[in-house]
Structure 1
Amino acid sequence: MPEILTDDELRKAADAEAAKNESEDKKSNNIRTVVVAEDESVNRMDLVAMLEDNGYQVVGQAANGQEAIELTREHHPDVVCMDVKMPVMDGITAAATICDENIAPVVMLTAFSQADLVKQATGAGAMAYVTKPYEESKLLPALEVAMGRFSEINDLLDSVERTENRLHDTEDQLKKAEEKLKKAEDTLEERKLVDRAKGLLMDKAGFSEQGAFRWIQKTSMDQRIPKKRLALAIISKYSDDKIDSDSED
């Protein structure tokens, strides 16, 4: 019998769940978590040191965009610091993936001469950008802005989703109410027609009131004819006899 999940897949799933729980625990303790993506090791070490000195916990360090995506998916950090130009996958492409999946806000790290790339980065969904060299006075506010915007956007999305759900529920309730009303109207119309047909059977065929009703009921069941249709047939049959049908209404 083939394995549904291999031991390696189970371990990876367990590790991912543990990392997610660890990230949630850190968030509940107000510890800011961050993934740093910078291909130049010296710059990356300086950036990590600056973040840790300011109370951030670096949960992942990436040297390219693909690693940044994988670490972000694994750790669900509060924010991602992403260099624009990196090997394997550039920061803009990686930021677009992270933002599309709505995992974490991204702060792009760029040089002064990369104004065109800054525009591409914001188009990819980056919440803020910081120019090199890294300075606390620029980096830390950018991180706070990015996290704040990300939180506001997600709150708005949650609000929109709740509103859509309420509208959907209201539409369902309205539809059910309309169906009940239609059913009630059909039932009322059927009763009126059956009463009229019953009266005609009593007048023209000598049925008692109870006998006429039973005959309509039995005929409807035996011949599988809806009562409304049977009643209309009875009314149509006796309408040629010039009875005072208006008095039966």
Structure 2
Amino acid sequence: MDRVLVVSSSEKATAAIVSMVREAFPACGQSVVGSGIEARRIAAENNYDAVIINCPLSDEYGNELAELFTESSMASCIMIVKAETADAVSERVEDMGVMVIPKPLSRQLFFQMMKFVNASRRRMLGIQHENIKLHKKLEEIRNVNRAKLALMQYLSFTEQQAHRYLEKQAMDLRITKNEVALKVIKMYEN
């Protein structure tokens, strides 16, 4: 974990949370703000791996802020709430992927939660990377199919001839089939 945003109106709680984050991830950079408004402002300017919200804040409770972070960023979100409200808050925010930790804050539970958040974030980033690769591959397949269709339509190639043409051009020009397909599309679809 590289960057963590701590949102807390209590100086004592802030110091404890920052200390535990440093202990769990010594190389992790932290930003600390005291209100939801400040958190929104700083989040617009920076990306964070995790956001820890010590509820309630001075200007709001914190669940709206947690919802904002989970919807608009890739940051994992942890809310620290009073033990008597932890179950109710958890029911409201768990579908968004927000973790809830009851107060008083247990060092061991906090470390476990941070390790879990870090592991799930890595997994999510791996899935996101795989998703990007699959979208790129799908786009290449679409381009090749559009190029084959153009060759079939304008040069009366069969599908096999169009496919062979794209492959041969790619080999001869030492470029990818996608690059050949894009050239064909540009030539015949404009």
Give the structure-2-normalised TM-score: 0.70
Partner of residue 120, structure 2: 149
Structure 1's 139 and 119: CA in aligned 2 closer, same or farther, altered over 3 A?
same
Q: CA deviation at 1:58?
A: 5.3
CA–CA separation in structure 1 for the residues paired with 2:14 and 2:57: 12
CA–CA separation in structure 2 for the residues paired with 1:66 and 1:162: 37
1:108 touches 1:129 (CA, 8 Å); kept in 2?
Answer: yes
Partner of residue 121, structure 1: 93
CA–CA separation in structure 2 for the residues paired with 1:44 and 1:58: 15
Q: CA deviation at 1:75?
A: 4.2
Q: Which runs of 4+ in 1 moved over 6 A?
A: none
Secondary structure, aligned partner of 2:126 = helix
Higher RCO (C-alpha 8 Å, min separation 6) = 2
Secondary structure, aligned partner of 2:156 = helix
Secondary structure, aligned partner of 1:96 = helix
CA–CA separation in structure 2 for the residues paired with 1:59 and 1:160: 29
CA–CA separation in structure 1 for the residues paired with 2:155 and 2:137: 27
Letter in 1 for 2:89: L
CA–CA separation in structure 1 for the residues paired with 2:100 and 2:128: 23
Secondary structure, aligned partner of 1:113 = helix
1:48 touches 1:58 (CA, 8 Å); kept in 2?
Answer: no
Q: Unaligned regions of 5+ residues in structure 2, if any?
A: 158-190
Q: CA deviation at 1:131?
A: 1.3
Q: CA deviation at 1:50?
A: 2.9
Deviations 1:37-81 (A, max 9, x none): 122222222222333344264521122222223334444333221
Q: CA deviation at 1:184?
A: 2.2
Is 1:39 paired with 2:38? Answer: no
Structure 1's 49 and 65: CA in aligned 2 closer, same or farther, altered over 3 A?
same
CA–CA separation in structure 2 for the residues paired with 1:39 and 1:145: 25
Secondary structure, aligned partner of 2:52 = strand
Aligned pairs, number:
155
Q: CA RMSD in A?
A: 2.3
Secondary structure, aligned partner of 1:70 = helix
Report sequence identity in percent. Answer: 12
Worse-superposed segment, 163-172 or 47-56? 47-56
1:34 touches 1:80 (CA, 8 Å); kept in 2?
Answer: yes
2:8 touches 2:54 (CA, 8 Å); kept in 1?
Answer: yes
Letter in 2 for 1:45: A
Q: CA deviation at 1:153?
A: 1.7
Q: Unaligned regions of 5+ residues in structure 1, if any?
A: 1-26, 187-249
**1:72-91 equivalent positions in 2, closer than 5 A:** 72-91=43-62
